[in-house]
Amino acid sequence: MKIRVGYGYDVHRLAENRDLWLGGIRIDHSKGLLGHSDADVLLHAICDALLGAANLRDIGFHFPDTASEYKDVDSKLLLKRTLEVISAKGYRVGNIDATVCAERPKINPHIPAMQKVIADILEIDIDDISIKATTSEKMGFVGREEGFAAYAVALIEKE
C-alpha cells in the first residue's frame, strides 16, 4: 500500500449580508465569509490537502474563481468533485485532521455536525475526521475578526 500526505490552508474575509458556511453546515452569525463560492474555508483547506497529497495541484486550478459555474457554488460539491479526482488516480481518503481559526462564533458546538457532513461526502468513517477550533488570541486579521483561516492535513492511500 502507498500512502501520501497533503497539507491545505485557506483564508476568507468576513463580510456583511453573507451566510456563514463552515464544514458544510450553515452557522448562525452576524457575518459570513466572502468568496466566489460559498467561501467555506474549512472545506477549501481540505480540498487543497487532498489534491496536494495526490499531486494534483490546488483548488484554484480545478475550480477557478474566474469560472461562472462556481459562482456561489456549495463547497460540498467541490469536496465531492475533489474526491472523484483523487479516486480517478486510484486513491482513497485515510483521514483528515483540520483546524479552524476564528474568534467568533464558537466553533466547537458545531464540530460533530461538520464531521458527519465531511465523512459522508468523503465516504469514510466519522472517526477519521478530526476538526479542532482555536482563536488567534486577538492577533492578526483573525483576531481583529476580519476573517477566518483553516488548515488541513489529509492522508490518502493507494492499494
Residues comprising the binding site? 10-12, 36-37, 44, 58-60, 134-137, 141, 144
- Alpha-helical segments (H) within 2-157: 41-53, 59-62, 75-88, 111-122, 140-143
Distance CA 106, CA 18 (A): 18
> Do residues 143 and 135 touch, judged by C-beta distance below 8 A?
yes
**Binding site residue list for a divalent metal cation:** 10, 12, 44
Please report, as a single letter, which amino acid is at residue 42.
L
